[in-house]
Chain A
Amino acid sequence: MIYFDNVTKKYKDNSSLEDVTLSIAPGEFVSIVGHSGAGKTTLTKLILAEEYPTSGTVFYESTDIHKLSKRDLMNFRRKVGIVFQDFRLLPGRTAYENIAFAMEATGKSDEEIKEYVPNVLELVDLTNRAFHFPYQLSGGEKQRLAIARAIITQPDLIIADEPTGNLDPANAMEVINILKKINDLGTTVILTTHNKGLVDGIKKRVITLENGRIIRDDKEGKYMI
């Protein structure tokens, strides 16, 4: 589904990713681990075409993501749900509207929005917070809202970039459990984190990055650096 072919990304003189080659199959749950600055976020940004590789190619199925036209890129992004460490919710919109926005943007009808949004709010246990604004929610609630927004469009792939970074252990565990549930339903999940306890508990594929290079890629791996 996602394929990195000898990808290098340099920021001025600093290398963030060095000659990375990897492939992620549909339905996989992949944890990408490493210290801060190892290149985890750069890797996700390359998948979303927020950044362009210095050399090498990133494919989605057989398409070079960085050669997509503006319109095709928009359509590609609609197939990807994103969850960030800092939530990145729309501050001027309620929880309900944040989720609805993703559907509105893809041109879904009002009826569909009215049907699906409450379901997803229930799934992430935010039904009674539907009409609260992001600043009125706790960290855990914000992250659950971000996940709800990511999954509402039923994407093929979910990218969760350090989603537990700002959360306490209980909330972090809950977020991981939701992501596992989504993966069980068939959605590919890419999770970046440096939380050892969480990764060890997932018992799925783990890719370890160090200084921009892949140093381990284990099928049922653990966080080992």
Chain B
Amino acid sequence: MLIHAKRIIKSGWKSFVRSGFTSLSSILIMTITLFVVTSLIFVQAALNSSLNDIREKVDVTVYFIPGADESSIKKVEESLSKLPEIKDISYTSSSEALSNFKDKHSNDYLTLQALDELNDNPLGASLNIKANDPSQYESISKYFENDNALSKGALTIIDKIDYSQNKLVIDRLTSIINGAKSLGFIVSFVLIIISIIITFNTIRLIIYMSREEISVMRLVGAGSKYVQGPFIVSGILVGVASAVLTVLLFIPISIWLGNHMTDFIGINLYNYYKSNFLQLFIIMLGSGILLGGISSFFAISRYLRK
């Protein structure tokens, strides 16, 4: 058994090395497959980072009427913070709002003068709310619409909620985010399937070229496993070589992307590649070995039926 395994591995290795051009062409084809897989992982990473950026920018602000009692506002904040949908709430008092406003319009003399004309602070306090998911803003804003336990008494001090104004933008963003996610998944899936089929057919073609050899091995009295083994080992070696080649190819590519495309993509892909290198290499290696091994196994089995 052990001697058989040793011979199979040795013979698989020899045939991999000796059939140089054939091995090289299958390595190149499989590298394309693994390249597609890695690129899709990169695209997903870039997409996720952009989506997170967009998510960060979406929020809902609840404006309170000027002069609203701070303790009532704090009560609202406290009860809101208990909602599981909410990620973060920040409170801006009316005096902070005023100084923010002044900062913002520091060059606008007319506005500042008009503000000075008023004796009272015209700006109310506000609560800025961030949800875990953009789709949750609607349900959050509904808490305020109904005078329920959460916001008991709150309705009287709320001036406006900018959710309804932002609703269109938020809804559109939510649907774009979901659409991009499912489109990304479908495109990745289709591309990966196509690449797998191409790789499988390349390996099938190579084994088809060896069908005479396989029949001779059978006639000499070699058992199925002994005939099949070296081809599977060669397939696995093709997978390993392709994984290494793909991983090496992505070093200069990610450096270039990191240097030139970070602003556009929103994530430094070189840093991403560096920090996930081991994980990506294992994914490539695993996919290569599985693809090479399984393709060879299925391609050869049809020649082994008696």
Contact = CB atoms under 8 A, between A and B. Distances in A.
B220 A101 contact: yes
A82 B219 contact: yes
Nearest to B227: A105
Contact of B212 (A73, A82, A88): A88
Interface residues of A, number: 27
Given A88-B212, A107-B4, A70 B221 contact: no
Contact of A48 (B3, B19, B219, B226): B219
A71 B222 CA distance: 10
Contact of A92 (B15, B218, B226): B15
Interface in B261-297: none
B221 A104 contact: no
Contacts of B218: 74, 77
Contacts of A92: 14-15, 18-19, 213
B306 A105 contact: no
B220 A77 contact: yes
| B: contact size bracket | 20 to 34
A113 to B, nearest CB: 10
A54 interface: no
A172 to B, nearest CB: 22
B7 interface: yes
A90 B221 contact: no
Interface string A178-219: 000000000000000000000000000000000000000000
Interface string B53-93: 00000000000000000000000000000000000000000
A106 B220 CA distance: 9
A45 B4 CA distance: 29
Contact of B221 (A88, A93, A153): A153
B204 to A, nearest CB: 18
Nearest to A91: B213
A149 interface: yes
A77 to B, nearest CB: 4
B217 A90 contact: yes
Interface in A68-88: 70-71, 73-75, 77-78, 82, 88
B219 A74 contact: no
Contacts of B18: 92
B286 to A, nearest CB: 28
A104 B7 contact: yes
A50 B7 contact: no
B221 A149 contact: no
Given A48-B219, A92-B14, A101-B220, 17 more contacts: A71-B223, A73-B306, A74-B218, A77-B218, A77-B220, A78-B221, A82-B220, A88-B212, A89-B216, A90-B216, A91-B213, A92-B15, A92-B18, A105-B221, A109-B3, A110-B3, A149-B220
Interface of A: 48-50, 70-71, 73-75, 77-78, 82, 88-93, 101-102, 104-107, 109-110, 149, 153
Interface of B: 3-4, 7, 14-15, 18-19, 212-213, 216-224, 226, 306
28 contacts: A48-B219, A49-B306, A50-B219, A71-B223, A73-B306, A74-B218, A74-B222, A74-B223, A77-B218, A77-B219, A78-B220, A78-B221, A82-B220, A88-B212, A88-B219, A90-B213, A90-B216, A90-B217, A91-B213, A92-B15, A92-B19, A93-B14, A102-B220, A104-B7, A104-B226, A105-B222, A105-B226, A153-B221
